[in-house]
Amino acid sequence: MLSVSCPSCGAPVAFRSHASVMAVCEYCRATVHKDAGAVRQLGKLSEVLEDYSPIQIGTAGKVGARSFTVIGRIQLRYAAGMWNEWYLMYEDGGSGWLGDFSGQFTVTAQRPLPDKFPPFEMARVGAQFDLGFGLAVVSDRREAQCVGGQGELPFDVGDGWSARVVDLRRGPSFATLDYSDGDKPLLYTGVAVTLESMGCQLLRDDEAIKASAGRYRGKVGALQCPSCGTAIAYLPGMADKLVCQACATRIDASTPQAEVLAAGERNDKVPLTLPLGAQAKIGNQDYHLIGAMKRTDDEGETWTEYLLYATRGTFFWLVEAGDQWWRSEVMDEWPEPGTPAVPHVSLHNIRYERTLDYEARVTWAAGAFNWKVAAGDRARVREFERGMASLAAENTQDELSWSRSTPVAADQVRAWFKLPAPPAAKGAGLSASLGELQWRFLLWILGLNAVPLIVNFGETMIWLLAALFALFIPPNIVKKD
């Protein structure tokens, strides 16, 4: 490990990886460049916005048999949201990246670029390219800016540094084409992972996350809508794309001062079965309902989608359509072939048939989201079903995602949120009372007709009792010879 003095404040700055060429001083935010035999200051890099990610500098884990330690981070912001790229140093001297977006993680490392690769402008969402591991589907294409950094990094980066990236997926495999340095990209390939599968240690605990989330110098504390002044409850640092529930103003709270994205008009109060801010106990996790939106399709069918989040869980959606509920989660592993423009797809050797193809439009939204959302947003949705499970491909011009939905009983939803049972349907109590009266009347008639038999007990009564016994005897007692 190389330790140098910060050229700006004199504090010690450590370089643990020989591949690192830049480090960020944790005291004064100066970016220190490592030259042969010397160090020099390049400028200062903004602080990262602390989010709800449990990862931090020093987190350790394994990918396969390779142990790693997190030694750096850059935070990137694009039109619809933010994500982290954590720089990894492996025990064997190698390096890689851990992508971190809304509770989804990918591990990648640089690979040789094949002779054939798409230009950035040609890599459209949904297109397929072979980069050496079979046909992969473009899942998104974005231009992002660096808004903060920590620790060591393998290249020089500063505020406003721009990245042009294209992400591709094939099953659990993941690839990124990075065009930041020109028309010829760098290729990074890897797989989708979870913190559990990597056996991560030295993660931030819940209290540390809650204490720091949403903070950096100048960060607003209690947020009020810049348009109408309504207090907005949200998860700072994780869900910073907000829609005021009172006036529909869209707000970006991922900057030191909240920025108004677009002013809305005051909404009539929209009734929701589950109110914003509601809490649910699901398994051993405490979930918060942080956002809700209503959508409609081409034929006028409407439904409501609720966004839930837990500090140790991930985002997922509860979808309410009429009296039916569905739990929907974004998929890390995509079906084969992974493109929605086919009549069927396969996942884990199970075939799903396409059943629906429609355009979904957001008609109303309120609360906090992990990406930018507004009334009028449109997406093409194709659904594939097998039994009670449903896979859905949802794509816009800039992104393609797959989700898996399974039905949830209404009673289960009420139990999660501790909601009271619904009132009985009008007339149901009267019908039950009438039914009970009918049974009582029938029994009274039978009893009345049995009086003569009881009084004149004889052969007739014996045959009646035998007939009743024959009617009620279980069928499986009677055996054939």
Going by C-beta distance under 8 Å and a sequence separation of 6 or more, which residues neighbour residue 449?
none
Please tell me the predicted confidence (pLDDT) of residue 208.
74
Distance CA 40, CA 434 (A): 90
Please tell me the predicted confidence (pLDDT) of residue 253.
61
Please tell me the predicted confidence (pLDDT) of residue 183.
94
pLDDT confidence tier of residue 221, bands split at 50, 70 and 90? very low
| Mean per-residue pLDDT, 422-439 | 57
The answer to whether the CB of 392 falls within 8 A of the CB of 319 is no
Distance CA 293, CA 248 (A): 12
Segment of 44-48, 224-228, 340-344 carrying the highest mean pLDDT: 340-344
Mean pLDDT of the chain: 79
Convert the pLDDT of each residue in 287-330 to its tens digit: 989 889 999 999 999 999 999 988 766 789 999 999 999 999 99
Please tell me the predicted confidence (pLDDT) of residue 33.
58
Convert the pLDDT of each residue in 64-119 to its tens digit: 999 999 999 998 988 878 899 999 999 999 999 999 987 889 999 999 999 999 99
Convert the pLDDT of each residue in 146-189 to its tens digit: 888 889 988 877 777 889 999 999 999 999 999 999 999 999 99
DSSP-assigned beta bridge partners for residue 153: 22
> Over pLDDT 70: what percentage of the chain?
67
The answer to whether the CB of 254 falls within 8 A of the CB of 369 is no
Please tell me the predicted confidence (pLDDT) of residue 243.
72
Output the six-digit token pair for 322: 């009429």
